[in-house]
Amino acid sequence: MTHDATTRQDARVSPSTGTSPSVASAATAADESPRLERARARRRGGSVGRSRFLLALYLILMLLPIYWLINMSLQSNSEILGALSFWPREVTFDNYIGIFTDSNWYMGYVNSIAYVSMNMLISISVALPAAYAFSRFKFIGDKHLFFWLLTNLMAPPAVFLLPYFQLYYSVGLFDTHIAVALAHCLFNIPLAVWILEGFMSSVPKEVDETAYIDGYSFPSFFVKIFIPMIRSGIGVTLFFLFMFSWVELLLSRTLTATNAQPIASIMTRTSTASGIDWGTLAAAGVLTILPGIIVVYFVRNHIAKGFALGRT
């Protein structure tokens, strides 16, 4: 009788004492069943390997021109113009040293960074409230206004070249950082409003209402609660603002002469009567890529969402 009870208890307890897949506890009814046939999959998945291969191929092809630029930047002009070599045989940093010791050169970077930062600051601070208005309220002319904003994204900078030149010249802003920063607002503010509106619309309106009930005023709610909620959206927006201001040439070149000249337009100086200074051109080019790498590194985790502009 007692013996009977024990076995039953063991049988009951066993499923839950199987703490790890040890061989010992595998003694179950299944082992007594007839021999099992092991089914083999008809299709084999080799597609992951293939897609990695194709992707690697694309990345290598994509990086080749950049590699070549770096390769050139580490060679002296005589080596560049000599026999073609796939890597620098005598690595030299002279091209970089030349740029960093000549204020005409390095001021170009300072100028570019100055107007890009100004533009980012101006754009984001006026776009944040505007995007909030578009995402939360209906008001007279809202749809037309939004559409008009987007048309500014489509305006070719070349169209505005001459009027800008005359406008900034007449108000005495020609050849200043702020001139370029303001000019870039033409496309950067609409872009910022567009992206931020997408991110803000994905924040439920109940958040706003709860905050007002809790006694927040609009400014304190906006700064303390709302902005932290769309942090990643703001990060992504800044990334895009940086990108479009940093890469633009036409307006920044036209609105500056010497004091605020961007690096991109200083680079045209490498071409002189005695030929092109390839090494310096390449080194200057490499240096223009670096800020972009730093910025993209900071937003790398938000980029995937950011490129959907908050809309997926």
Partner 1 sequence: MTKVQNNRAWLLILPMLVLVAFSAIIPLMTVVNYSVQDVFDANTRFFTGTEWFETMLNDSALQAALLRQFAFSMTILAIEVPLGIGIALLMPKRGWQASAVLILITLPLLIPWNVVGSIWQIFTRGDIGLMGWGIRELGYSYNITRNPVDAWATIILMDVWHWTPLIALLCYSGLRAIPEAYYQAARIDRASRWAVFRYIQLPKLTNVLVIGVLLRFMHSFMIYAEPFVLTGGGPGSSTTFLSQSLTTMAIGQQDLGPSAAFSLIYFLIILLVSWVFYTAIMNMQKDDATGGHRHDA
Partner 2 sequence: MAEIMLKALAHTYVSNPQSPADYAIREMTHVWHQGGAYALLGPSGCGKSTLLNIISGLLQPSDGDVVFDSRIVNELPPEERNIAQVFQFPVIYDTMTVFDNLAFPLRNIRTPEAKVRERVAEVADILDLVPLLRRKAKNLTADEKQKVSMGRGLVRDDVSAILFDEPLTVIDPQLKWKLRRKLKEIHERFNITMIYVTHDQLEASTFAEKIAVMYEGQVVQFGTPRELFEKPAHTFVGFFIGSPGMNFLEMTVTESGLSFGKLPIPVDPRLLELAHRSGSNNVKLGIRPEFVEVHEEVGSNTLSVKVEDIQDLGTYSILSFRLNGVSLKARLGEEHAIRGEYAHVRFPEASTHLYIDECRVEVGND
Q: Which residues pair with 271 in a beta bridge?
A: 276
Binding segment toward partner 1, per CB under 8 A, in 3-11, 29-37, 96-104, 294-302: 294-302
Q: Does residue 227 touch partner 1 according to CB under 8 A?
A: no
Q: Of residues 98, 201, 216, 227, which one binds partner 1 by CB under 8 A?
A: 201
The residue among 27 and 66 lying less far from partner 2, judged by its C-beta, is 27
The residue among 42 and 144 lying less far from partner 2, judged by its C-beta, is 42
- With the CA atoms of 5, 7, 8 and 12 taken in that order, what torsion angle do they form, in degrees rounded to the nearest 10? 140
The residues near 205 (Cβ < 8 Å, ≥ 6 apart) are 136
Q: Does residue 249 touch partner 1 according to CB under 8 A?
A: yes
The residues of the shown chain that bind partner 2, judged by CB under 8 A, are: 1-2, 4-6, 8-9, 12-13, 15-16, 18-22, 25-26, 28-30, 33-43, 45
Binding segment toward partner 1, per CB under 8 A, in 24-32, 95-103, 226-234, 298-306: 298-306
Dist. CA 161–CA 65, nearest whole Å = 31
User: CA of 181: how far to CAs of 161, 235, 259, in Å?
Assistant: 14, 19, 14
Least distance in Å: CB of 37 to partner 2? 5
What size, in residues, is the chain?
312
- With the CA atoms of 16, 22, 27 and 29 taken in that order, what torsion angle do they form, in degrees rounded to the nearest 10? 70
**Which two structure tokens, joined as six digits, stand for 256?**
């500056």
Question: Which residue's structure tokens are 């950011």?
Answer: 306
Q: Of residues 20, 47, 78, 101, which one binds partner 1 by CB under 8 A?
A: 47
Dist. CA 136–CA 41, nearest whole Å = 54
Buried b (16+ CB within 10 A) or exposed e, 130-145: bbbbbbeeeeeeeeee
Q: Which residues pair with 272 in a beta bridge?
A: 275
Among residues 262, 285, 3, 312, the alpha carbon closest in space to that of 112 is found at 262
Q: Does residue 136 touch partner 1 according to CB under 8 A?
A: yes
Binding segment toward partner 1, per CB under 8 A, in 13-21, 31-39, 98-106, 259-267: 259-267
Q: Does residue 153 touch partner 1 according to CB under 8 A?
A: yes
Look at residue 91 and give the partner it binds from partner 2, partner 1, none, a contact being a CB closer than 5 to 8 Å depending on partner kind. Answer: none
The residue among 102 and 142 lying less far from partner 1, judged by its C-beta, is 142
Least distance in Å: CB of 1 to partner 2? 7
The residue among 34 and 172 lying less far from partner 2, judged by its C-beta, is 34
Least distance in Å: CB of 297 to partner 2? 29
The residue among 94 and 291 lying less far from partner 1, judged by its C-beta, is 291
Q: Does residue 307 touch partner 1 according to CB under 8 A?
A: yes
Q: Of residues 109, 164, 199, 221, which one binds partner 1 by CB under 8 A?
A: 164
Q: Does residue 190 touch partner 1 according to CB under 8 A?
A: yes
Long-range contact list for 16-25, CB < 8 A, 24+ apart? none
- Residue 40's SS3 state is coil
Interface with partner 1: number of residues (CB under 8 A): 99
